[in-house]
Amino acid sequence: MEINHQMMGYDRAITMFSPDGRLLQVEYARKMVKQGSTAIGLVCKEGVVLITDKRLVDKLVVPEAVEKIWQVDEHIGATAAGMISDARVLVERAQLRAQQHRLTYDTPIDVLTVVKDICNIKQICTQSGGLRPFGISFLVIGVDDEGPKLFETDPAGIYFRYHAKVIGEGETEVMEILYSEYSQELLLDDALKLGVKALVKVLGKNVTSDRLDCVYIKTKERQFTRLSEEKVDRLLKEAKRLGK
């Protein structure tokens, strides 16, 4: 008779491996990420973009007050899926790290350094008693001397660099669209259109512009820029029209 791992208590401490070599609390954190709101990152010919679902759970919530894409530095942005309160703590640390780098070296921090710093904290929480893993995955975008970059971090502190990536509940459906329609030669506007179109497929055609958050960073300007609600609304209308 096979004994359930949870019954044996292998998920009670993050420092305890199960007999088949798994950290069960990390796996629980990954499940939380899969239940989070969908976020998409795309590297394109002119820069890099982030499109995310704010997931407004109450019609009385002020949409402008819900922040799902954060500016880490002038040239770096991030969004997350999972426990957003965990994300806020890590984002604030990343912002501080970027400020310290500018003050110390008088140059902007590179994207990979920010990603590694976030992942180092996440990794510590997989080997220290009394802690739990951060229930969050990040998409981090930015432009540095090597060009536009997109990274994904997971709750264990693993990170990968991508051309295009999705996190959250709509990952499977959106990845199917990206595999068939994404190209590194996409222009910025086309990348935004593709991201919004993919979110419409996941969220349904009743989704409104106040539910979406869109940001881009151009390679030349290296400036974090958030799309206005009017621009998002135009992209949304076009996505719905093409989806008919």
Q: Per the structure block, which two tokens stand in for 124?
A: 């510590």
pLDDT of the residue at 11 = 81
Is the model's pLDDT at 55 over the cut of 90? Answer: no
The stretch 56-73 carries a mean pLDDT of 89
Each residue's pLDDT tens digit, 110-128: 999 999 999 999 999 998 8
Mean pLDDT (whole number) for 105-111: 96
Cβ contact 51:197 at 8 Å: no
The crossing angle, in degrees rounded to 10, of helices 111-124 and 84-105 is 130
How far is 136 from 93, CA to CA, in rounded Å? 15
pLDDT of residue 1: 39
- Structural domains of the chain sorted by starting position, each given as residue range(s) with its CATH number in brackets: 25-53+67-238 (3.60.20.10)
pLDDT score for 7: 52
Which of the residue ranges 44-58, 103-117, 137-151 would you say has the lowest mean pLDDT?
A: 44-58
**pLDDT band for position 244 (cuts 50, 70, 90):** low
Residue (of 8, 48, 11, 51) closest to 29 by Cα position:
11
**pLDDT digits over 69-90, tens only?**
999 999 999 999 999 999 999 9
User: How much of the chain exceeds pLDDT 90, in percent?
Assistant: 74
Is 73 in contact with 57 (CB distance < 8 Å)?
no
Q: What local confidence, expressed as pLDDT, does residue 56 receive?
A: 83
Residue-level pLDDT at 243: 64
The band of 13, judged by pLDDT with boundaries at 50, 70 and 90, is: confident
